[in-house]
Amino acid sequence: MVELTKTGVDGLDDILNGGIVRNSTTLVSGNPGAGKSILGLQYIYNGVKRFGEKGIYLSFEENTEDIRQAAESIGFDDWHHHVEEGDIRIYDKQVLLRENDFSSSLELLLDDLDDKRYERLVLDSLTMFQLFFDNEREQRTYLLKFTDILSENNLTTLMTNEQGTVFPETDIGLENFLTDGNIYLLQTPTDSGVNRYVWVAKMRKQNIDTDIFPMEILEGGLTVHPNASAFSMMSGDDSPL
């Protein structure tokens, strides 16, 4: 039996057929503003609040105060308290970018990983993390090394990725193949705002629902509507893309 880690995001665990495969790494891709960072915050926060699982949040994009404000903006008012208690461990951009190579950044992390207190990890974003490396071959090697280390330390990981979804115009990056799961967050403009969708394109070892489902970002973060009429990437006219 495959063990699963619940995201705790309403509706998302349903289309994942229960949750994310434990000790795996899932890529969360989408355009700017699609909700990637919010999903990461929710995943870590729900872990602590609802599932008794501590989490590590690595951000190359924001500092601790920005992360706190983003968490509070979706109603996670006691985020800071959990950070102070150590249930949520943050490595923000000030800390991560102080080191100038991957190995020194990793050194910082390894102590925390060693005591196996943490079960969830978010890397926001893989796109920024890859800037540590000079070429695609190095990026690929280190991504594999890193995901192995995370998995060996019993972490179930989400990595955000700045990648749109308009296939085939968008190249599918190697990182999509190298990770265990691929979730896409999509948004399309409307007269009154945006329509948002989620698409779970892949989850190794899991029988998932690969249709595209509507979602919203509200107080509390993302809510997916698994019972609303769904789209398929394969269908023509009714596709949101």
Q: Which member of 33, 81, 145, 148 binds ligand ATP (CB under 6 A)?
A: 33
User: What mask of x and - would describe binding to ligand ATP in positions 178 to 217, judged by CB under 6 A?
Assistant: ---------------------------------------x
Q: Which member of 4, 9, 15, 38 binds ligand ATP (CB under 6 A)?
A: 38
Query: Applying CB under 6 A, does 37 fall inside the site for ligand ATP?
Result: yes
Query: Applying CB under 5 A, does 37 fall inside the site for Mg ion?
Result: yes
Residue 226: cis peptide before it, omega within 30 degrees of 0: no
- Those residues whose C-beta lies under 8 Å from the C-beta of residue 55, and which sit 6 or more positions away, are 43, 44, 45, 47, 48, 87, 88, 89, 118, 119, 120, 121, 122
Query: Applying CB under 6 A, does 131 fall inside the site for ligand ATP?
Result: no
Closest Cα partner for 156 from 12, 8, 20, 13? 20
Q: Which is nearer to ligand ATP, 94 or 154 (CB)?
A: 94
Residue 227 CA, distance from chain mean position: 23
CB neighbourhood size of 22 (10 A): 15
Q: How many residues bind ligand ATP (CB under 6 A)?
A: 14
Q: Which residues bind Mg ion (CB under 5 A)?
A: 37
Q: Which residues bind ligand ATP (CB under 6 A)?
A: 30, 32-38, 73-74, 162, 217-219
